[in-house]
Structure 1
Amino acid sequence: MAKDILGYKGKRVVVMGCFSGTGEAAARLLVDLGAEVHGADIKPSPVNLASFTEVDLKKPDAIAAGIAAIGGKIDAVFNVSGLPQTFPGEDVVTVNFLGIRAWTEGWIPHLNPGAAIVSVSSLAGMGYLARQPLLREFMGITDFAEARQWYADRAAELGDPYSLSKELINTWTQVSAPDLIGRDIRINCTMPSPIDTPMLGEFRKIAGDAVLGAFAKAKGRYSTPEEQALPLILLNSDAARFISGVCLPVDAGLAGGLATGVLNIQQMIAEASAA
């Protein structure tokens, strides 16, 4: 029999955002791999989970209650929840970063040695290294209300709240990794290109077909939820036990092409518009 290199059988894992899309796909795959999967979201999941807990990431009390309701020791945390830009900016930043951070940090005392954390970021957060002083200033605010006010006071200069939230996820992941590895806990994130999920329609309202088409050009299509769920599962698995602090593009080579100048996003948008 082949060795179980992923090592999920018998592990207790938590999937935040298991209602639909990538989170639902991840939860299903983890169940198939033999994990004891505990889900959380604002809507019940269709997956046959060990438990489901309703959690609103905008509310610190709900986050703490959700962690207490699931309880016990955990081997892996999957953060897949997120809001698009069609929601108020304060809510986007709160759910996509502040809530995810509070949820994750609340689990850290309950994580077994060798545990791992993975979050879904986005290619929209690619520019995080160019805004480090600003992002680190925001990261220094731990109170939800204070952080929301900080964002509201600067919303015009901060730009797209979704991109900001994903830049924060990338930065937080890499800033947290050195300390967590000292506790035998790994943390990573993925940066997907557009995914064929119900949320894609919300992004289309903001970005338009040309921009989404440009970001899908590398492969000629959008990725599937499963194609995004599998890298999450890999990063939290035993097979990736020496990987931490990584912001992994899952985009069929798009980020690499842009970084090296092989691809030009403005040209790609223009070509997609013409098509």
Structure 2
Amino acid sequence: MARKRILLTGASSGIGRACCELLAADGDEVVGLDIQTAPPQAAQHVQCDLSEPDSIDAALRQIDGRFDALLNVAGVPGTVDPALIMRVNILGLKHLTEAVIDRLNPGGAIVSVASIAGFNWQRRLAQLTQFLAQPDFAAGLRWFEQHPLDANGAYHFSKEAVVVYTMQLAGPARSRGLRCNSVSPGPVDTPLLPAFKIQAGAGQLDWVIEQTGGASTPMDIAHVLRFLATGPSDCINGRDLAVDRGLTAGLVIGWIDKNDSPLLNSRKTQAP
């Protein structure tokens, strides 16, 4: 198999670092972007603040050549400032993707990390479409300032936007010989898991982990990302793939009873 060249955000920790290790072990050339220092497996690493478009543009000027895949892995949890959540999780992701798409080789792929927190995108598709139609990073941020959300709401909205943006991009990407997909993990045992537990509140993620038999590892998610980016996945385009150890199926079909969840029970006790 020919050696691939991969641009990877969030390469220094968690799922991104697992992707870097896995792809490098395959013999692929990984170019990492992260605000943190370089992982040892990266062939090249540029420190980059994905919350700032100027930092993204400056980082890309330091990187020559073309790529076979873009992996948008970097993200922040719903425990930080809502504007920062939007900047990193969707506005920076979108800015980077649109800046680099012309440097992707035909037959390549764009894969972004969304979340099971983005599963309700259909409920506010019109609003998400309006947000994603903003012409640039600054306009998107202004739109969010006019439609403010708290941190948890901003996190859900940002991940819903990743799912919808993936579907929007799939058509234009196909015309360039590219594919565009997203992956929605459930709880993953990364350094950010404690923050996600705080964000979910009421012991909710501990309950989810118990119901599904454990948290995923970063490498579990990395294997799926690699498959969509460089594996035999040519017919998969415009899809969001849940990697949640069966959580969604259980809640829909009923072998996980959502009425037993701590979050729902907490809301019941708070109801007047």
Taking structure 2 as the reference length, the TM-score comes to 0.92
The code of the aligned residue for 2:71 comes to F
Task: Give the superposition deviation at 1:129.
Answer: 1.3
**Counterpart selection for 1:104 from 91, 97, 105:** 97
Does the CA-based 8 Å contact 2:188-2:215 persist in structure 1? yes
Indicate yes or no: 2:220 matched with 1:234.
Answer: no
The separation in 1 between residues aligned to 2:203 and 2:152, in whole angstroms, is 20
The separation in 1 between residues aligned to 2:8 and 2:109, in whole angstroms, is 12
The separation in 1 between residues aligned to 2:239 and 2:113, in whole angstroms, is 12
The separation in 2 between residues aligned to 1:51 and 1:200, in whole angstroms, is 28
The separation in 1 between residues aligned to 2:86 and 2:168, in whole angstroms, is 18
1:182 corresponds to? 175
Task: Give the superposition deviation at 1:162.
Answer: 0.6
The separation in 2 between residues aligned to 1:252 and 1:90, in whole angstroms, is 31
2:136 corresponds to? 143
The code of the aligned residue for 2:54 comes to D
The separation in 2 between residues aligned to 1:124 and 1:146, in whole angstroms, is 24
1:4 corresponds to? none
Indicate yes or no: 2:21 matched with 1:28.
Answer: yes
2:245 corresponds to? 252
Does the CA-based 8 Å contact 1:213-1:272 persist in structure 2? no
Q: After superposition, what is the alpha-carbon deviation per residue over 1:220-264, rounded to whole angstroms, capped at 9, x for unaligned?
A: 211110011110000112410111111000011111222334433
1:121 corresponds to? 114
Task: Give the superposition deviation at 1:123.
Answer: 0.2
Does the CA-based 8 Å contact 2:258-2:264 persist in structure 1? no
**Counterpart selection for 1:48 from 27, 36, 41:** 41
What secondary structure does 1:155 align onto?
coil
1:213 corresponds to? 206
Distance change (3 Å), C-alpha of 1:87 and 1:156: closer
The code of the aligned residue for 1:219 comes to T
The separation in 1 between residues aligned to 2:103 and 2:263, in whole angstroms, is 49
The separation in 2 between residues aligned to 1:150 and 1:103, in whole angstroms, is 19
Equivalent pairs, count: 266
Between 143-152 and 39-48, the greater mean CA deviation after superposition = 143-152
The separation in 2 between residues aligned to 1:37 and 1:159, in whole angstroms, is 32
What secondary structure does 2:42 align onto?
coil
2:163 corresponds to? 170
Distance change (3 Å), C-alpha of 1:42 and 1:239: same
Between 100-109 and 209-218, the greater mean CA deviation after superposition = 209-218
The separation in 2 between residues aligned to 1:37 and 1:105, in whole angstroms, is 19
What secondary structure does 2:201 align onto?
helix
Task: Give the superposition deviation at 1:214.
Answer: 2.8
The code of the aligned residue for 1:97 comes to I
Between 89-98 and 54-63, the greater mean CA deviation after superposition = 54-63
Task: Give the superposition deviation at 1:158.
Answer: 9.8
1:204 corresponds to? 197
The code of the aligned residue for 1:192 comes to P
> Which runs of 5 or more structure 2 residues have no equivalent in the other structure?
267-272
Q: After superposition, what is the alpha-carbon deviation per residue over 1:124-175, rounded to whole angstroms, capped at 9, x for unaligned?
A: 0000011100000100113323322221222249961111000000000011
1:268 corresponds to? 261
Identity %: 36
Task: Give the superposition deviation at 1:204.
Answer: 1.9
The code of the aligned residue for 2:134 comes to I
Between 127-136 and 209-218, the greater mean CA deviation after superposition = 209-218
The separation in 1 between residues aligned to 2:107 and 2:184, in whole angstroms, is 23
1:83 corresponds to? 76
Taking structure 1 as the reference length, the TM-score comes to 0.91
RMSD (CA atoms) = 2.0
